[in-house]
Amino acid sequence: MGCGVSGMTLQWALRVAGAITLGGLISLPATAQQVIELESAPVNSSFSQVPTVAELTDVKPTDWAYQAVQSIVERYGFMQGEKSKFRGNAPLTRYEFAAAIAEVMQSIGPIASEDDLKMLRQLQDVYGKALNRVRSRLTDLEARETTLSGSQFSTTTKFSGRSDQIITGGTADSKMSVVSRVRLNLDTSFSGRDLLVTQLEAGNSGLDAIGLGQQRQGDQLSRAGTIANGGGLDAVSVDPSVRIRKLYYTFPVSKTVQITIGSAIPPSDFIDRNTFANNSGQNFASSFFMNNPLIVQNPVERSSGAGVVAQWVASKAVTVRGLLSGAGGNDPKVGLFRDPYQITLEGEYRIPQRSIVVRGQYTNANVAGGSVNAIGLNGEWRISRQAGAFGRVGLANYSGVRPRNNAELNGTPLSWSVGGMLRNFVIPGSKAGFAIGQPFVGVLGNATQTNAEAYFGLLINDRINFSPSLLFVMNPDNQRAASILQWALRMTFDF
């Protein structure tokens, strides 16, 4: 390179010089201004001296800037090209143009004419403010990066949490009470593709009207039920002692397969998920509407046992999952395959054109001294940006299962639930939902429990959600008893 001008600087200089030769940027036609551009790739050995414009295969005499490029070669006697190409169509931003002018002023000064230097100074004045803004932003970014690096929790771990504070009351001789639950999450990644999940949980052992009514009837279908989870508020019955609810590590073994292993794996983290009914902090408050109680076995879910999960993304539309979780997996006297444990297979199919997701499921489990084999179907439909619907149905075979009253349970219970959700309901930024279902139809008790819930959620800001709910249970715990009507005011804090 002649005159000490680098390959990158020279390419900038040629483009600037082209603008000068044609009378400046302002006088160029619109199409011409669009092609005053910058080669943004780093300079390397592929750049070589070009003694004449004719050697550049992508610069033709018919090009609008041909005379400008030819003039700069003839007047100053230097040019570099990349593999005989000028590459004049690389994007040039105002910031890059300002930087180019500043560098050209230093490099081309000794060989430029007074007229050229005068034009360059004018361009430098015009774009100097843009360059100063770039420098200011870079300085600000460096300061912010230093502050964040000094205050971050960890270079590999993201800390987050959720606090559910609920004031509730209802019938069944229930007085107004407060239910509280806090969950702290530590998500750690060592490579960017793996994830170590740790979740700590504690509560105030709070109870709601529905839970109280179910306790009086045997407590078999409550949130802590031995048969199925058909309970009220999901946040009830959480012990004040801090416990590890989740502890597992997920890593890829190929582009389409990932494995999860851990000592505390809640099945609901991996199977039977649903956009509209799977998050008690953001949609339905009832534990029953979070999962199909025949597919996600309550004794396994609440104990968060050890296990392994495999997921295979067969295509954009098809995903297959397999899960094993056993409450006694950390005890060599019990092992993974002793009561309670469950094995679940789930196939998911997405229909993107219709925004429909369907999941087919099979669960084999040992709970309460007996065996369970269940099949299930989980579907969701995003009808529009403002509306969605969901449904779950399951059928199971229970053999030799002994609930708390020690009466052996044998038969084929059914479980179902349907519901919908509306966004921006009455108030912008809000959402509302309604769901109804029966957690355990047949086999158990002298009646069938029916659950229903309506909620209204209002996002106060990105971190606080306020949600009043009405919950209704008929024939609690599958026994003929007075229906329970319950209200709840939820405040969910995400941090």
Alpha carbons 112 and 75: distance in angstroms, whole number? 9
For the chain, the first-to-last Cα distance in angstroms comes to: 57
Structure tokens given for 466 = 């306020």
Alpha carbons 436 and 434: distance in angstroms, whole number? 7
Percent helix, strand, coil in the chain, to 5, is 25, 40, 40
Alpha carbons 118 and 108: distance in angstroms, whole number? 12
Instruction: Give the DSSP letter of residue 340.
Output: S
Structure tokens given for 125 = 């004045």
For residue 265, the tally of other CB atoms under 10 A from its CB is 27
**Cβ atoms of residues 438 and 449 within 8 Å:** yes
Please state whether the peptide bond connecting residue 340 to the residue before it is cis, i.e. omega within 30 degrees of 0: yes
Structure tokens given for 381 = 């439909």
Structure tokens given for 58 = 């992508």
Residue 161 CA to its chain's centroid (Å): 15
Instruction: Give the DSSP letter of residue 286.
Output: B
- Separation in Å, CA 273 to CA 248, 352, 392: 18, 17, 11
How confident is the model at residue 50, as a pLDDT?
A: 57
- Separation in Å, CA 413 to CA 267, 278, 401, 476, 490: 21, 22, 12, 16, 32
User: What's the CA angle centered on 154, arms 153 and 157, to 5 degrees?
Assistant: 105
**Cβ atoms of residues 240 and 202 within 8 Å:** yes
pLDDT digit string (tens) for the chain, length 495 residues: 334 344 444 444 444 444 443 333 333 333 333 333 333 334 344 445 555 666 777 777 777 777 777 766 655 555 555 556 776 776 777 777 777 666 666 666 666 667 777 777 777 777 777 778 888 888 888 888 777 766 666 778 899 999 999 999 999 888 999 999 999 999 999 998 999 999 999 999 999 999 999 988 888 888 888 788 888 899 998 999 999 999 999 999 999 999 999 999 999 999 999 999 988 778 899 999 999 999 999 989 988 889 999 999 999 999 999 999 998 777 777 777 777 899 999 999 999 888 999 999 999 999 888 999 999 999 999 999 899 999 999 999 999 988 766 678 899 999 999 999 999 988 888 999 999 999 999 888 899 999 999 999 998 888 899 999 999 999 999 999 999 999 999 999 998
Residue with structure tokens 């003039």?
Answer: 71
User: What's the CA angle centered on 183, arms 237 and 151, to 5 degrees?
Assistant: 160
How confident is the model at residue 67, as a pLDDT?
A: 72
Structure tokens given for 360 = 């087919």
What pTM does this model have?
Answer: 0.70
For residue 184, the tally of other CB atoms under 10 A from its CB is 17
Alpha carbons 135 and 372: distance in angstroms, whole number? 67
How confident is the model at residue 136, as a pLDDT?
A: 86
Structure tokens given for 463 = 């971190």
- Separation in Å, CA 456 to CA 149, 231, 425, 427: 40, 20, 8, 10
The candidate with the shortest Cα–Cα distance to 367, out of 399, 393, 396, is 399
- Separation in Å, CA 154 to CA 224, 251, 266: 36, 20, 26
Structure tokens given for 165 = 């504070």
Pairing state of beta strands 356-367 and 484-494?
Answer: unpaired
Residue 483 CA to its chain's centroid (Å): 39
Residue 433 corresponds to which amino acid?
G
Alpha carbons 450 and 424: distance in angstroms, whole number? 28
How confident is the model at residue 82, as a pLDDT?
A: 59
**Which residues contact residue 262 at a Cβ distance below 8 angstroms, ignoring those fewer than 6 apart?**
197, 246, 247, 248, 249, 306, 307, 308
